[in-house]
Amino acid sequence: MESQRNVSEFILLGLSYDKNIQIFCFVLFLFCYISLLVGNVLILVSIPSSTLFHQPMYYFLSHLASLDIYYTSSITPKLIGDLLLGTKSISYGNCMLQVFTMHFFGSTEIFILAAMAFDSYVAICKPLHYMIIMNRTRCNLLVLAAWVGGAVHSFPQLFMAIQLPFCGPNETDHYFCDIFPLLKVACTDTHITGVLVLVNSGMVVLATFVLLFGSYVVMLFTLRNHSAKERRKALSTCGSHITVVVLFFAPAIFVYLRPPTTFPEDKVFALFYTIFAPMFNPLIYILRNTEMKNAIRKVWCQGYFQKKLTI
């Protein structure tokens, strides 16, 4: 590989050269990252400490919370540090690692969202068989399949990135290392690689989104035969999930489901599926879910009172 490149690091041009905008972005993204960590840690602590952990939806939600932390932590701390210190370089090895982790955790999260949609579908469309279909063994298999699917998606991305020769400019117009910006600075014909990336990333995102959209159409159609109370409860749960799906998939489809090229707007759209959507996930699931709010209140209030009694 050393004979194919003479680039030991890449320069990430980031979001803007304007100092005022950089300061604003630093404050904003630091707030988003702290909010993401607090919200998802709250979920990760509260669910296993309550009876909700035995329900498939919350079991998947705990995995989604951990993936949000892993996924965003592969990108956001570096971005915050670059905005604070003004250094925007990243070594070749760390760049390749970022390509892998970003796609690995991101695609695994997509498959976990699909598993959550399947859980909602079974709960609404086959309520009498729900406990049989969504037993813990099947839930574990779905989680395992999500992680395996993430690996199957991300290793080819890493392999294609490593195979690219870099011998000229090393400036990428982005705030993290991704395959499309790297294709732009590679010193070879990247048409075939771009098509492979489109098939790998774009089709995974599109196929999963179509599957999710179709499942929710079927669920909404089925809800017509349920009582008003059941409809309200199901729509509240589905509404949270649909909001998360739209925030994540809409910008991802725009970025990855098109011919291999880059636009300045890509950085703005990428902010939604790398920072904003993971930050809003815990807020959406906590604020719109009564069971989740009660579990958090019970776990943390009991802990507080037990601590007071101990003192």
pLDDT for the residue 29: 94
Q: b/e string for 261-276 if b means 16 or more Cβ within 10 A? A: ebeeebbebbbbbbbb
Look at residue 10 and give its three-state secondary structure.
strand
| pTM: predicted TM-score of the whole model, two decimal places | 0.87
Q: What is the spatial distance between Cα 98 and Cα 42, in angstroms, rounded to a whole number?
A: 26
Put the strands of the sheet holding 171-172 in their side by side order. Answer: 89-91, 9-12, 171-172
Q: For position 237, what pLDDT does the model report? A: 67
Predicted pLDDT of residue 3: 39
Find, among 226, 55, 48, the residue nearest to 126 by Cα.
Answer: 226
DSSP state, 54?
A: G
Tens place of pLDDT for every residue, the chain, 311 residues? 443 567 788 888 888 788 888 899 999 999 999 999 998 998 888 888 877 888 888 899 999 999 999 999 999 999 998 888 877 888 999 999 999 999 999 999 999 999 988 998 888 888 888 889 999 999 999 999 999 999 999 999 999 989 888 887 788 888 899 888 888 888 888 888 888 888 888 888 888 888 888 888 888 888 777 777 777 766 766 777 788 788 888 888 888 887 766 677 788 888 988 998 888 888 887 766 777 777 777 776 765 445 554 55
Q: What are phi and psi of 264, to 5 degrees?
A: -55, -30
Q: How far apart are CA 201 and CA 193, in angstroms?
A: 12
Residue 195 Cα distances to 26, 100, 112, 180, 189, angstroms: 35, 18, 26, 11, 12
Q: How far apart are CA 79 and CA 143, in angstroms?
A: 30
CATH no. for 9-309:
1.20.1070.10
Quick one: pLDDT at residue 85?
81
Query: Which residues have C-beta within 8 Å of that of residue 10, sequence separation ≥ 6?
Result: 89, 90, 92, 95, 170, 171, 172, 177, 182, 185
